[in-house]
Amino acid sequence: MDQVQKEHQRLWKRAQSSKCINDVQATIDLLLEARRTIVDDPSSASITLAKLQNPVKASFEATNNDLKEAYSGLNKYTKALDKLFKDKPLPTTEYDSLSQPVLVNRAVAMHLLREGEFSTADTFLSEVSRIHMSSEPDTTMSQAEKQATEAMPDIEAMQSGEIRNQFLLMHELLYEMTEHQNLLPAIEWARNNREALYVRGSNLEFELCQLQFVWLFHGGKENNVSVGSGRLMALEYVKREFPRFQGRYLPEIQRLMGAMAFAPNLEDSPYNSIFNNPNSWERVATSFKGEFCALLSLAAESPLYVAATAGAIALPTLLKLQTIMKEKRTEWTSQNELPVEIPLPRSYQYHSIFVCPVSKEQTTDENPPMLIPCGHVIAQQSLARISKGVKFKCPYCPSESNAKDARKLLL
């Protein structure tokens, strides 16, 4: 994968190059200038066209040279992919999500909206709706296919529905925050959704106000503001906005105010990480995006992006496993789990796992973990087996308990 990533980055850099675009634009400018000259003086057409031949030829050659670099990079990238995968068939299961195009289309449309590609999303949704309307109903559809078809109105609602408006608002606020360093619209949104954020235990509103304080402390958007004036603006902001945070964030507010005494030498002070953090804006923007999506009952990251990335990480292992299974003529151990461990990053591990110390089996929704009064945890089936409806001794300590006193744990 390292070679593929290396070639991909090289290809991406070449694709982003503006040299080819500039060469094409230069050719267009030459032709437009020649047309204007001929329009103004038709008798000069032959001379103008003659003078135009060499510059246009040189411009075409420059454009072709630029394209050769892109073609070379694409060729190397393709060879790297072929070398890695060697035309191996991808692992398959009985359930293939690609057999449910409506669900896949919904995931793609949602991803485009989340990423702020509204024009692309509109075009995509229009094409999906057109194809759906032109297709004839199938009376022999399976239950899964019928459920996928029922999701079609949800896809059509994305084009002009509330979810699109919400993502449009999110990207407007993020644009103001990241491009103009204007936190006020985001702070206003957090203030309007304070109760919902409080229920989630979110610190977003305070984080935004804290960054606004730091921004004002450094002089805000006015580059010519003196250091003393910046501190005064920040102090006025604290007096006006921070009283409502004192009950929950008093230590943090005290730290911000304590930094005033170290203002002439913040770099060597304990407050340097707050006032001179180059990642503070990116961190707050990420936090804002996550909380915004959470209030929409959505994950912070696009599920399509997560699934594609996790699949790319798992693919080499699965291909190797498929080869071994083919040689040993074995099959998957279960339809609902993989027979090998896939080393996904911690950020992609969404479900806690508990293995019962008695049965040595992983707990499930049908066999959840149970907390017994002594503080130890075992699976529900193990609890039922050792208790048999009467008092029982904990497998790991001398305490005796009753099965009815056990409590289900939510992981």
What is the mean predicted confidence (pLDDT) over 280-306? Answer: 90
Q: Residues 138-195: pLDDT tens digits?
A: 555 555 444 444 444 566 666 667 888 899 999 999 999 999 889 999 999 999 999 9
**pLDDT digit string, tens, across residues 245-282:** 988 899 888 888 888 778 777 777 777 888 888 889 99
CB 220 within 8 A of CB 230: yes
Write down the pLDDT at residue 54: 87
Picking from 404, 348, 340, 337, the residue whose alpha carbon sits closest to that of residue 372 is 404
| Residue written as token pair 């297709």 | 135
- Specify the pLDDT at position 298: 86
- Buried-exposed string 296-307: b where 16+ CB fall within 10 A, e elsewhere: eebeeebebebe
pLDDT value for 206: 93
- Owner of token pair 């199938």: 138
The tens digit of pLDDT for each residue in 361-398 reads 888 888 889 888 888 898 998 888 888 767 888 888 88
Supply φ then ψ for residue 156, to 5 degrees: -65, -30
Q: Give me the phi and psi of 301, to 5 degrees please.
A: -95, 150
What is the pTM assigned to this prediction? Answer: 0.61
Contact 128, 157 (CB under 8 A): no
pLDDT score, position 394: 86
Q: What is the pLDDT of residue 48?
A: 86
